[in-house]
Structure 1
C-alpha cells in the first residue's frame, strides 16, 4: 500500500518502532500527544498502538498520564546475547575494580558507530557521569569508544573517520588525522585515555575485553576527576595510576570469557614471568 506521494506507508511494526524510539535519556516520560509528534503519527493511530504496547507491558502509564518504558521491555532487552553472558562474567570483576578505585566503572560494547553501555557502577562521591546503562554515545570522544573503534574492522574505522564528528568540549578530538593517530596508539599501548572530551571535569581510562576468538568484544573503563580541569581543586587523578588496574580487570573478564591470550598471559605470570 502506497501513500499519495508514491512512498510506501510505514508498516505497523515500523510505527511501533517509531513510538519506542521517541523515548531516550532526555525524554523518559511522554504524553500521548508528544509520542504522536515524535513518531510522526496521527494521534488516533498513536493512541491505538500505545494502548497495545501498554497492555503488553512495553510501556507504562503513570498517575500523571505520561507514558514511560515498561519493565516488560527491559526484561526482553536484558536477554540480548551480547550483554547477558558478558555482564554475568564481568560483574564480579567490575565490583572488585569498583571497590579498589572507588570511582566510576563502566562496561560497553560497540553497535555500529556508537558505544552502548551494558553496565555501570557509579560511586556517589565520584565525578558525574553522562552515560547510563542502555545509553549510547559516539565512539570518538569516549575511552571505551576509542578502544572499540581501534579494534573495529577497517571499513568501520574509515566510515567513522569520514563523518563529521561532533564536538562536546574544546578537548574533543574531531580531526580524522589526529584521531587516526590516537587509534594507532590505543592498539599499540592496549589502553585509551580520554581527558575532558565529553566533560572537562572527567577523565576516562579504558582497556579492551576479548572473547573466545580473541577479538575485542567490549571495553572496560574507569572514569575519574580530570587533573587538567582547573575547577577540580587539585582533586584530579593521573591516568597512569589507573592503567594497571584497568588492564588487569579487562584481562580478568577476557579470561572469564575464554580469551586465549588472557589465559596465556596468566600462565606466563604463574611461571614467574612478567605480563606484557
Structure 2
C-alpha cells in the first residue's frame, strides 16, 4: 500500500459518469471483480480511459494478483498510473504478504506483511526485498484496532530518526457506513496537522472494494463501508502555524447495472 496520500489531500472535483447512465449487461459477481477503471476507483482523469484500468486475479476466493499501479511523478504532487506493474498477494496461515514488483524487471520489490485476525489486518510491517532474499529493516509499521466489529484506529509509524507517526480515527453511522475520518500527523510527539474527511451520499449497492482493501489507501478507505459513498469533503488544518484550512471535494457518480450494482468497468466509446 503506497505511503503517499496525495489522493486524499488533493484539490479536485470529478465524477465517474452521469448519474442517469445505466448499463444493461450484468457484471461479474461483485466479490470477483476482474477489471476496474482507474477513473472510477481512484478518480484520476477526466473520464474512463480504455488503457487505464486494473486487472484482478483470484484463487480459491482470494485476490492473488493485481495488474496496474500508481507511481509518484518526479517533482510533481501527483501519481501516474501504469498498467504493467504486478502486485502479488501470498496467503499463509494468518499472514498476507503483498509484493509490489517494479517496472521493466528492476530487481527488488516492496513487501507489506499483514498479520490478520478473522480476515482483518491487525498489524502491517513494510520492507524492501533485494534479489528475492535480502530483506531490509522494517521501514514503517501500522497497527489496527477495532471497536464493535468495526475498524476504529490505524496507527502508522515511520522508522528512523524523524519520529513521524500518523493516527487515523474512523466513525460510522447506524448502517455501518463510514461517515468521518480524522487523520492526525504527529512529529516528535507534537500534533502537527489534522485532516478531516466527511463521507456522504451513500448508495444502496454492495461494496465492490471488500476484497481489494490491501491494494492501496484509496481501496482500503472505500472498503470500510457496507455501501458506497459518492461524496467526500476533506479539510486540512495546520495545528502549528496560522495557515488557513484547505478544503477539497470529490464526487463519484457511479454507473449501475439493471440490478442496482456498481459497475467499475464497462465499454467506453
Check whether TM > 0.5.
Answer: no
Higher helix content, 1 or 2: 1
Higher strand content, 1 or 2: 2
State TM-score, norm by structure 2.
0.28
**Larger RCO of the pair (alpha carbons < 8 Å, separation 6+):** 2
Larger Rg: 1
